[in-house]
Amino acid sequence: MKQMKNNVMLLLTALIWGCAFVAQSVGMDYVGPFTFNCVRCILGSIILIPVIFLMDGLKKRSGMEEEAMKKARGNGRMLLTGGICCGVILAVASSLQQFGILFTTVGKAGFITAMYIVLVPILGVFVGKKIRPLIVLCVLVAVAGLYFLCMTEQFALGMGDLFVLLCALVFSIHILVIDHFSPLVDGVRMSAIQFLTAGIVCGVPMLIWENPKPENILAAWMPVLYAGILSCGVAYTLQILGQKNVDPTVASLLLSLESVFSVLAGWVILHQSLNQRELFGCALMFAAIIMAQLPQRKGQGNKA
């Protein structure tokens, strides 16, 4: 039952993130990428403050002892370290994604971002996990999918697609870092710290290169609120809570369904569509995503 609950959390995260691609695209009609990310992340951090107090109150009412609550929060230094690490990585990944969405469609951005499903087990090699031969095949299929989805007739990768591909790499690191810290500390508190950190990190280039005006931010209130409250405050917290005691590769499979939701959201809301070549690329990438999660045979050992 607990496993199912965690899976539902991760599925809801994917749904919210998939629709968030639309909010991110529309929001940049009014503000710059760094401004959008700075405001949404700080808003996401603020939203979580009452959630923390509410959850603490519920724990006290349920009879949970103060000592047990402190243990659940984890070591303060570990909590701060995890939140800051996740926040810096999130700032880099989300900024790359925002710039990518400026130059590519919502659907393509969603599928390229989902490359982290293949990258996570590959990067897992550097933290002591073995890689299965099947993953190598998945990488080859995914690269072929990227070719049909992104490459032009001049054999060039679009600038927006390149930004989103780099974003997928950084998000892969983000998943592994969360996998390390989430079992050790309180997930909601770490999420609040990571958003505040990401907002501050994005705020620096915002002030240097962009000219944020309050009236423009207010004009983008709907996509900013969706991205800040739902995509940040709700979805990333669901990710941290849902990833507890869940294999990171399985988690990345569920989270990668955001690619499907992004295509649907882009089609329904923005009327964006993909041509046959791009759809074939999506099909190859999705096949690689699914194959990467096929269960290993017994006796193969601890492999990614």
> pLDDT at position 152, please?
60
Distance CA 161, CA 112 (A): 7
pLDDT for 178 beyond 70: yes
- Neighbour count for residue 143 (Cβ, 10 Å): 14
Distance CA 187, CA 242 (A): 9
pLDDT for 263 beyond 70: yes
Mean pLDDT of 258-287: 83
8 A C-beta contact, residue 80 and residue 196: no
- Say which residue, 304 or 160, is predicted with more confidence: 160
> pLDDT at position 274, please?
78
Mean pLDDT of 136-156: 74
pLDDT for 254 beyond 50: yes
> pLDDT at position 112, please?
85
pLDDT for 189 beyond 50: yes
Distance CA 254, CA 70 (A): 31
> pLDDT at position 154, please?
56
Distance CA 175, CA 165 (A): 16
| pTM of this structure | 0.82
- The band of 304, judged by pLDDT with boundaries at 50, 70 and 90, is very low
Distance CA 276, CA 178 (A): 37
Q: What is the DSSP string of 185-225?
A: S-HHHHHHHHHHHHHHHHHHHHHHH----HHHHHHTHHHHH
pLDDT for 140 beyond 60: yes
Q: What is the DSSP string of 78-107?
A: HHHHHHHHHHHHHHHHHHHHHHHHHHS-HH
> pLDDT at position 297, please?
59
Mean pLDDT of 273-294: 80
> pLDDT at position 302, please?
39
> Which amino acid is it at 80?
L
- The band of 168, judged by pLDDT with boundaries at 50, 70 and 90, is very high
Q: Which of 109, 111, 105, 132 is CA-nearest to residue 287?
A: 111
Mean pLDDT of the chain: 84
- 157 forms bridges with which residues in the sheet? 151
> pLDDT at position 301, please?
43
> pLDDT at position 78, please?
93
> Mind listing the pLDDT tens digit for each residue in 38-55?
999 999 999 999 888 888
> pLDDT at position 1, please?
66
Distance CA 143, CA 237 (A): 31
- The band of 296, judged by pLDDT with boundaries at 50, 70 and 90, is low
Residue 301 φ then ψ, to 5°: 85, -170
Mean pLDDT of 70-81: 86
Helix (H, G, I), strand (E, B) or coil at 151: strand
Q: Which of 28-42, 161-175, 194-208, 287-301 has the lowest mean pLDDT?
A: 287-301
pLDDT for 286 beyond 60: yes
CB-count burial class (<10 Å; 0-12, 13-18, 19+) for 15: middle
> pLDDT at position 298, please?
52
